[in-house]
């Protein structure tokens, strides 16, 4: 406006005027919560954009007709929702999804049972070398899956133990999955089991319950957030696993090939070209079970991760 002094220049009273940003900085200095709130919004928006944009891009590719894919920009170059039906008509995609869910559920059950026993030992019993042994177990999770592939390949093809041929069977995937994802569950459950007061277990023992009974009747119910967190994280990790899922079977749904093989089969669903829109639609459908699980169990996951970080 005419007659109004520019930002940073003195007004009629001799005081410096401030622009909108300078005024906001001045108010933030007096009230630091404004700065914290602004940082929170910026980080949240950045996180949501970087997390959700890949899914939006998949959706844009999926609904764009195949002949218009090279014209797609930030908005789809057309709209063809029939591609989500093509995912199931070109290949038995539902069988691949079923295989992945069964493998994930089975592995999660095995991991929770064994990790609960190990978590009880590490969390509630004292013995020499406990810390060293825990570190050794956690170190397994830092090894790349490729380090275990060659010996497991020899083992599962009957070259080590005659007659033990697990290739193209669920065992060739469940056994490596359980070994790779168990250390994290042991660590989570050890933290939770160690926080249960000894008096509750002693009371159960007085009533005639064994240690095993006290574990499954008292300790695990009281550690439900931790058990749920370990189970959900294991399920997601197994469902998303690529290395052993791709190499331990020939990609046929009848041989328990998981969702990874199904998405790769969609790549070859077209007769003369790669069907990118069908692959994008298949990827979106494949994410749905995990997304639904996270939405349902998000409160347990958050409470489990936060409660496990506190020591009372």
CA-wise closest residue to 181 among 249, 261, 239? 239
The answer to whether 236 touches 250, Cβ cutoff 8 Å, is no
Write down all domains in the chain, each with its CATH number in brackets. 83-308 (1.10.3720.10)
Q: Which residues contact 176 (CB under 8 A, 6 or more apart)?
A: 145, 148, 152, 244, 248
**Mean predicted confidence (pLDDT) in 29-42:** 78
Name the maximum alpha-carbon separation found in the chain.
96
pLDDT of residue 306: 59
Tell me: pLDDT of 91 over 50: yes
Residue written as token pair 């639609």: 281
The proportion of the chain whose per-residue pLDDT surpasses 90, expressed as a percent, equals 18
Query: What is the share, in percent, of the chain residues with pLDDT greater than 70?
Result: 87
pLDDT for 222 beyond 50: yes
pTM for the predicted model, two decimal places: 0.80
Which position has the higher pLDDT, 11 or 92? 92
The single residue listed with the structure tokens 């790549």 is 267
- Say what the pLDDT of residue 304 is: 59
Lowest mean pLDDT among 31-35, 169-173, 219-223: 31-35
Contact 122, 136 (CB under 8 A): no
Q: In Å, how far are 5, 71, 101, 147, 262 from 257, measured between CA atoms?
A: 72, 34, 11, 22, 8
pLDDT higher at 28 or 291: 291
Q: Where residue 106 falls among pLDDT bands split at 50, 70, 90?
A: very high
User: What is residue 165's three-state secondary structure?
Assistant: strand
Reported as a single tens digit per residue, the pLDDT across 169-191 is 999 999 999 998 999 899 989 98
Ranges 108-117, 217-226, 260-269, 294-303, most confident: 108-117
Residue 14 confidence (pLDDT) above 50: no
Instruction: Give the per-residue pLDDT at 174.
Output: 93
Nearest one of 161, 148, 181 to 248, comparing CA atoms? 148
- Is the predicted pLDDT of residue 3 greater than 70, yes or no? no
* Torsional sign, CA 60, 283, 45, 225: positive
Indicate if the pLDDT at residue 24 is higher than 80. Answer: no
Mean pLDDT score of the chain: 82
* Tens digits of residue pLDDT in 273-307: 677 888 889 999 999 998 888 888 777 666 655 55
Yes or no: say if 62 and 275 are a contact pair by the CB < 8 Å rule: no
> In the prediction, which pLDDT does 52 show?
86
From CA 279, how far away is CA 268, in angstroms rounded?
Answer: 9
pLDDT at 309 over 50: no
Q: 108-131 burial string, b = 16+ CB within 10 Å, else e? A: bebbbeebbebbbbbbbeeeeeee
Question: Using CA atoms, how far apart are residues 42 and 293, in angstroms rounded to an integer?
Answer: 28
Instruction: Determine phi and psi for 295, rounding to 5 degrees.
Output: -65, -40
In the predicted model, is pLDDT for residue 115 greater than 60?
yes
With contact defined as beta carbons under 8 Å apart, do 62 and 277 qualify? yes
CA gap 89, 247 in Å, rounded: 25
Residue 229 tokens, joined: 């967190």
The pLDDT assigned to 109 comes to 95
Query: Which segment of 87-96, 181-190, 210-219, 229-238 scores lowest on mean pLDDT?
Result: 210-219
Structure tokens at 278: 């069908």
Cβ within 8 Å of residue 192, ≥6 positions away: 119, 123, 223, 225, 226, 227, 304, 307, 308
In this predicted structure, the answer to whether residue 69 has a pLDDT above a threshold of 60 is yes
- Looking at per-residue pLDDT, the higher value among 306 and 43 belongs to 43
What number of other Cβ atoms are within 10 A of residue 278's Cβ? 25
How confident is the model over 241-279, as pLDDT tens digits? 989 988 898 888 888 999 988 888 887 765 556 778 888
Check residue 162 and give its pLDDT. Answer: 78
Does the structure show a pLDDT above 60 at 74?
yes
């Amino acid at each position: 406006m005419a007659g109004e002094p520019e930002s940073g220049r003195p007004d009629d009273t001799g005081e410096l005027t401030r622009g909108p940003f300078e005024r906001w900085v001045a108010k933030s200095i007096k009230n630091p919560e404004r700065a914290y709130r602004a940082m929170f919004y910026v980080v949240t928006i950045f996180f949501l954009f970087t997390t959700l944009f890949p899914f939006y891009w998949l959706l844009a590719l999926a609904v764009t007709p195949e002949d218009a894919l090279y014209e797609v920009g930030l908005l789809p170059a057309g709209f063809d929702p029939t591609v989500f039906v093509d995912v199931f008509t070109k290949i038995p995609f539902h069988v691949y999804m079923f295989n992945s869910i069964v493998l994930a559920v089975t592995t999660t059950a095995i991991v929770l049972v064994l990790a609960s026993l190990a978590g009880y030992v590490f969390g509630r019993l004292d013995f020499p070398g406990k810390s060293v042994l825990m570190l050794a177990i956690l170190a397994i999770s830092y090894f790349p899956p490729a380090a275990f592939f060659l010996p497991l390949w020899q083992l599962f093809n009957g070259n080590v133990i005659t007659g033990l041929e697990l290739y193209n069977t669920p065992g060739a995937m469940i056994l490596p999955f359980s070994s790779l994802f168990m250390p994290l569950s042991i660590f989570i459950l050890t933290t939770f089991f160690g926080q249960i007061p000894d008096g509750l277990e002693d009371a159960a023992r007085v009533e005639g319950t064994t240690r095993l009974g006290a574990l499954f009747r008292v300790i695990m119910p009281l550690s439900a957030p931790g058990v749920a967190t370990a189970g959900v994280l294991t399920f997601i990790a197994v469902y998303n696993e690529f290395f052993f899922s791709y190499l331990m079977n020939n990609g046929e749904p009848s041989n328990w090939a998981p969702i990874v093989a199904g998405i790769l089969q969609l790549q070859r669903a077209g007769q003369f070209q790669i069907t990118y829109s069908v692959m994008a639609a298949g990827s979106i459908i494949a994410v749905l079970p995990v997304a639904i699980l996270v939405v349902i169990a998000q409160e347990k996951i958050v409470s489990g991760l936060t409660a496990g970080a506190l020591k009372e």
